[in-house]
């Protein structure tokens, strides 16, 4: 596969950021042009950038196996949100980046060809995009993701993450069940009777985020949302996420009816 690092300055985020894209080599095209291939948006976690999945996992091998185009953007510590300083990373992920990929690489944003997944903060971002724009994605996955804003109820008052959450999202006490909460997006999608993507959620039982995983999966079931919920022994590590991206891709791409 070919790996492209494209340093660009989106109009939405207003900061130069690396965008990583995995594409087939000329000899691997097999008469299937890029515009007809499945595209995986693969999102990084809080302390990484778009290079992380390519550096720490075998995603390039899996891209070869399935003939994928893999798109790995960089969004800092934004939680894939539009920030108070007008760096619009949510707008970038859901609006500007798909248009840019179509204009530059001829990759059309077709729902039947588009998947999204991420780890940790990237799991939050994947659910944010998929549940708010379900018409864009046929499958979405969160690995060890922040899948419920109930996380703030477990933070000590002197936890420095509280200040970061406050700057990005506002008053932490309003976050559980509020507009930034994945459960809220899920409830709204069900109320609007939209066709949801296939949802794949996994978390290690030894993780601090495991209670949030249980909370989100319970919300899905109470709302009648079909979800592939996976729980394994594991922690917040790249070997675990490497296993999970393999399981997700096999789950959705090895099944002819997905």
Mean pLDDT score across all residues of the chain:
94
Structure tokens at 163: 């200040």
Q: Name the pLDDT band for 106 (thresholds 50, 70, 90).
A: very high
On the question of pLDDT at 29 being above 90, the answer is no
CA-CA distances (angstroms) from residue 183 to 22, 70, 119, 175, 256?
32, 27, 18, 11, 29
User: DSSP assignment of 221-254, as one string?
Assistant: HHTT--EEEEEES--SSHHHHHHHHHHHHHHHHS
Closest among 142, 201, 152 to 176, alpha carbons compared: 152
On the question of pLDDT at 258 being above 70, the answer is no
Please indicate whether residue 26 or residue 198 has the higher confidence score (pLDDT): 198
CA-CA distances (angstroms) from residue 195 to 21, 125, 183, 189?
28, 19, 16, 8
Q: What average pLDDT score do residues 83-99 get?
A: 97
Q: How far apart are the first and last CA of the chain?
A: 25
Q: What local confidence, expressed as pLDDT, does residue 257 receive?
A: 56
On the question of pLDDT at 172 being above 70, the answer is yes
Give the span between the Cα atoms of 171 and 58, in whole angstroms: 39
Q: What local confidence, expressed as pLDDT, does residue 229 receive?
A: 95
Q: What local confidence, expressed as pLDDT, does residue 162 receive?
A: 86
On the question of pLDDT at 184 being above 60, the answer is yes
Q: What average pLDDT score do residues 103-129 get?
A: 96
Summarised one tens digit per residue, pLDDT across range 208-228 is 999 999 999 999 999 999 999
User: DSSP assignment of 97-151, as one string?
Assistant: HHHHHHHHH-----GGGEEEEEETHHHHHHHHHHHH-TTS-SEEEEES----GGG
On the question of pLDDT at 155 being above 80, the answer is no
Q: What local confidence, expressed as pLDDT, does residue 124 receive?
A: 98
How many CB atoms within 10 Å of residue 153?
12
pTM for the model:
0.95
């Amino acid at each position: 596969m070919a790996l492209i690092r494209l340093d660009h300055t989106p109009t939405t985020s207003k900061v130069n950021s690396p965008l990583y894209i995995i594409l087939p080599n000329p000899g691997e095209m097999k008469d299937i042009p890029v515009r007809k291939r499945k595209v995986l948006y693969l999102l990084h976690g809080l302390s990484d950038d778009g290079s992380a999945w390519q550096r720490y996992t075998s995603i390039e091998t899996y891209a070869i196996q399935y003939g994928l185009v893999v798109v790995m953007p960089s969004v800092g510590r934004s939680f894939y949100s539009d920030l108070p300083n007008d760096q619009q990373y949510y707008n970038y992920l859901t609006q500007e980046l798909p248009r840019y990929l179509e204009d530059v690489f001829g990759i059309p944003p077709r729902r039947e060809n588009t998947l999204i997944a991420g780890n940790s903060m990237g799991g939050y971002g994947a659910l944010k995009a998929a549940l708010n724009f379900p018409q864009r994605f046929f499958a979405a996955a969160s690995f060890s993701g922040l899948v419920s804003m109930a996380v703030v109820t477990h933070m000590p008052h002197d936890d420095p993450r509280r200040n970061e959450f406050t700057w990005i999202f506002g008053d932490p006490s309003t976050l559980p069940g509020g507009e930034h909460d994945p459960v809220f997006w899920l409830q709204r999608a069900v109320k609007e009777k939209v066709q949801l993507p296939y949802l794949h959620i996994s978390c290690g039982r030894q993780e601090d985020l495991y209670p949030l995983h249980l909370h989100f999966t319970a919300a899905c079931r109470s709302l009648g949302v079909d979800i592939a919920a996976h729980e394994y022994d594991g922690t917040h590590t790249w070997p675990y996420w490497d296993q999970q991206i393999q399981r997700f891709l096999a789950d959705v791409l090895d099944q002819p009816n997905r």
